[in-house]
Amino acid sequence: MKPIQVGLMGFGTVGTGVFNVLQRNQAEIKRRAGRGIEVSMVSRRNTALAQEVVGDRATVVADARAIIANPDIDIVVELIGGYDLAKELVLEAIAAGKHVVTANKALLAVHGTEIFAAASAKGVMVAFEAAVAGGIPIIKSLREGLTANRIQWIAGIINGTTNFILSEMRDKGLDFEVVLKEAQRLGYAEADPTFDIEGVDAAHKLTLMSAIAFGVPVQFDKAHIEGITKLSSVDIKYAEQLGYRIKLLGITKRTPKGIELRVHPCLIPAKRLIANVEGAMNAVVVNGDAVGTTLYYGKGAGSEPTGSAVIADLVDITRLHTADAAQRVPHLAFQPDAMSDTPVLPMGDVVTSYYLRLRVADEAGVLARVTGILAEAGISIDAVLQREADEVGGEGSTQTDLIILTHDCAEAKMDAAIAQMQALPTVLQSITRIRKEELA
């Protein structure tokens, strides 16, 4: 049988990974797919650079639409990124009856509802394993491997760039900006790296996992998002002393009132496996009612790891494209007419525990006033640590740090208590609040 024909729109980090792995492993992949998979067209604005990689093995074009217009192309792979052009191209490819593979989580987290509906109406597949946690087969696991379960919660390190930054800062004492540049050089960071460091990229991925886990529409606009730019090395150090690691986590959880959808730095007990995920590695913990807790670990970014996920989708489509569309795995795991309207919880209703750090005047009564406010708010304290003033501000310092770990309380209650503590004249700087998860 003639190999299935693939066109790559975008030929940068991921595109070249897809091309190279397909070339290297083509015989093995064919044995699995039952048919050869051939990249016959690639598009890149700088055609000369693409030509250097593909030689005479594929046609190089500058205009991605030439791929969609080619009747011989069966599967179009969108690896350009961004919202606007990518959306136009994906919708045009679907309208032309092509199956689509994309690594673009930003696109699907924001426009997924429209794109999946268009694909279903046309009877084509839109596959996106590479969009979440790169090479880790997490979409496949959630959508198929765990299909028996009522998923309870998911918590993941799903941005390699920020995990790399946090690891390098902690282990080598390197500066934030220096490590970010290195992450860019290694091809981990997004075209706009603020998406990485402000938690937006993680929220895109979390939105997709949440939809698949709970059978709800993609609702990126409802996600609570905080990145790592406000984290200080002093909090990383105190967390370690208390037996915790700080990680940027994406958390989505089923609660009786709604679904939590939140990305923020988090204290995790150092003994948990996920707390020891370092560098650009990703890890996702999924808790299902039947299976219990499962962990998925691997490279969430980079050329060939992400290429590996794109090729997995190409193989799936190669096997399934002749199947009756109704028999295929639904895009978001649940049948489109069986989606749930469970709301996303406002952050104020999320219940969790906290690490608080208050830079205070080193004088009598400060601790009592602070703990008094928490007690009045009904927030119970798990542990308090007070640093020696000398240790915090050098010899003769008149300032010190109070570190408080709390038990669970609603975020709105904590917001109000923080506002009251912040107003105390003895609280000298903006209070640091980092949420804490046991992930047991």
Ligand X SMILES: NC(=O)C1=CN([C@@H]2O[C@H](COP(=O)(O)OP(=O)(O)OC[C@H]3O[C@@H](n4cnc5c(N)ncnc54)[C@H](O)[C@@H]3O)[C@@H](O)[C@H]2O)C=CC1
Q: Which residue has the tokens 């050329």?
A: 303
With CB under 6 A as the contact rule, which of the stretches 55-63, 186-194, 237-245, 288-296 interacts with ligand LTNE7NMQ? Answer: 186-194
Query: How near is the Cβ of 19 to ligand LTNE7NMQ at its closest, in Å?
Result: 18
11 near ligand X, rule: CB under 6 A: yes
85 near ligand X, rule: CB under 6 A: yes
64 near ligand X, rule: CB under 6 A: yes
161 near ligand LTNE7NMQ, rule: CB under 6 A: yes
190 near ligand LTNE7NMQ, rule: CB under 6 A: yes
- Burial zone of 82 (CB within 10 Å; 0-12 exposed, 13-18 middle, 19+ buried): middle
- Residue 254 neighbours by CB under 8 Å, 6+ apart: 150, 151, 152, 153, 214, 342
Helix axis angle, 13-24 relative to 303-320, nearest 10°? 60
Q: Of 87, 140, 205, 247, which one is the catalytic site residue? A: 205
Neighbours of 413 (CB within 10 A): 15
The residue count for the chain = 440
With CB under 6 A as the contact rule, which of the stretches 206-214, 299-307, 341-349, 353-361 interacts with ligand X? Answer: 299-307
305 near ligand LTNE7NMQ, rule: CB under 6 A: no
With CB under 6 A as the contact rule, which of the stretches 21-29, 83-91, 159-167, 392-400 interacts with ligand LTNE7NMQ? Answer: 159-167
101 to 130, contacts with Na ion by CB under 5 A? 129
Binding-site string for ligand LTNE7NMQ from residue 108 to residue 147, where x marks contact by CB under 6 A and - marks none: --------------------------x-------------
Neighbours of 367 (CB within 10 A): 16
| Partner whose binding site includes residue 129, from ligand LTNE7NMQ, Na ion, ligand X, none (CB under 5 to 8 Å by kind) | Na ion
Query: How near is the Cβ of 11 to ligand X at its closest, in Å?
Result: 5
- Taking CB under 6 A as the criterion, the residue among 199, 288, 298, 302 binding ligand X is 302
Query: Which residue number, 282 or 318, has a Cβ lying nearer to ligand X?
Result: 282
Query: Which residue number, 310 or 405, has a Cβ lying nearer to ligand X?
Result: 310
Instruction: Report, in angstroms and rounded to the nearest whole number, the Rg of the chain calculated over CA atoms.
Output: 24
Q: Is 205 a catalytic residue?
A: yes
- Burial zone of 168 (CB within 10 Å; 0-12 exposed, 13-18 middle, 19+ buried): buried
- Taking CB under 6 A as the criterion, the residue among 306, 308, 400, 406 binding ligand X is 306
190 near ligand X, rule: CB under 6 A: yes
Q: Any binding-site annotation on 190?
A: yes
**Amino acid symbol at 6:** V
Query: Which residue number, 69 or 323, has a Cβ lying nearer to ligand X?
Result: 69
314 near Na ion, rule: CB under 5 A: no
Q: Any binding-site annotation on 15?
A: yes
Interatomic CA distance for residues 258 and 262, integer angstroms: 13
Residue of 24, 13, 19, 20 lying closest to 160 (CA atoms): 13
160 near ligand LTNE7NMQ, rule: CB under 6 A: yes
Q: How many CA within 13 A on the CB side of residue 194?
A: 0
- Burial zone of 160 (CB within 10 Å; 0-12 exposed, 13-18 middle, 19+ buried): buried
Interatomic CA distance for residues 42 and 50, integer angstroms: 8
Residue 103 and residue 128 in contact, taking contact as beta carbons nearer than 8 Å: yes
Three-state secondary structure call for residue 406: strand
Q: Which residues bind ligand LTNE7NMQ (CB under 6 A)?
A: 134, 159-161, 188-190, 196, 201, 300-301
Catalytic residues: 205
Q: Which residues bind Na ion (CB under 5 A)?
A: 129, 132-133, 136, 138, 309
